[in-house]
């Protein structure tokens, strides 16, 4: 088991859902945790609950303030904040820009701040909450699917580039999780994600197991790995299957509009 006692851990988007579960899990292992969220009230509530420090604000800018709050270096950074807008090419540029900024560039900006210190001391851990959409796709949401693919690609790049220099990277790729994000999801979320949704604590448990094992890919839903194999081995068959899901979604949406 990885010794996390007294490690400095930062979790973004930790006011609820997966982020809050990660913060609780790291705190339970004795880590000194910084809870970051745009919602200051939620961040402070989680921090009080687990004896952590709240550093509210934009996840893209949290590293300097979190480092100061921890009184030194950051050992583990959990890039967990994310958004899931719906739509396709018709979605406004602002929607696409927001998905790219939160789901990808916040990870890039954090790594930019963290890597010099980590490389100097030869140790650091980057945990990216990606989603199975990054391995597969998500019907009804092109901005989410595309940005999560990019988040996975960036995590892979970090790992292959720096693993020999002591940097550990983990990509957390759950399917449906019972969070506010799922509750606010469209019909697509209800169709694809809700039937097999798990609790945020299940995701946190799988993440800590991957940390202990030194494993890059975190699959709280093991079937996501099998789907990824199917996608890679027979892409057209996989696309046909996903198109079937899309057509089912369109039928449900038409029925809803007709009521």
Q: Which residues participate in catalysis according to the annotation?
A: 144
d(CA 205, CA 202): 5
Exposure class string for 162-179: b at 16+ Cβ within 10 A, else e: beeeebbbbbbbbbbbbb
Q: How many CA atoms lie within 13 A of 41 on its CB side?
A: 0
User: For residue 213, how many other CB atoms are within 10 A of its CB?
Assistant: 12
Identify the DSSP state of 216: S
User: What is the distance of C-alpha 174 from the center of its chain?
Assistant: 8
Would you state the structure tokens that stand for residue 240, as one six-digit string? 């046909």
């Amino acid at each position: 088991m990885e010794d996390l006692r007294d490690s400095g851990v930062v979790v973004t988007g930790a006011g609820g859902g997966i982020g809050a579960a990660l913060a609780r899990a790291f705190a339970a292992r004795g880590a000194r945790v910084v809870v970051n969220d745009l919602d200051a009230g939620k961040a402070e509530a989680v921090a009080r609950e687990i004896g952590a420090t709240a550093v509210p604000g934009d996840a893209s800018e949290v590293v300097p303030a979190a480092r100061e709050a921890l009184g030194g270096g950051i050992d583990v950074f959990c890039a967990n904040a994310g958004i899931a807008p719906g739509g396709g090419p018709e979605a406004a540029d602002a929607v696409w820009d927001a998905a790219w900024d939160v789901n990808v560039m916040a990870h890039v900006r954090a790594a930019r701040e963290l890597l010099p210190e980590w490389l100097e001391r030869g140790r650091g851990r980057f945990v990216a909450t990606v989603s199975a959409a990054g391995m597969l796709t998500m019907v009804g949401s092109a901005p989410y699917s595309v940005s999560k693919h990019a988040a996975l690609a960036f995590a892979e790049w970090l790992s292959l580039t720096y693993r020999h220099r002591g940097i550990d990277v983990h990509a957390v790729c759950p399917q449906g999780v019972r969070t506010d994000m799922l509750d606010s999801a469209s019909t697509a979320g209800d169709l694809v994600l809700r039937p097999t949704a798990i609790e945020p604590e299940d995701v946190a448990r799988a993440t800590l197991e991957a940390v202990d094992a030194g494993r890059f890919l975190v699959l709280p839903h093991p079937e996501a790995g099998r789907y990824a194999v199917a996608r890679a081995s027979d892409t057209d068959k996989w696309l046909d299957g996903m198109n079937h899901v899309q057509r089912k979604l369109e039928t449900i949406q038409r029925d809803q509009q007709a009521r």
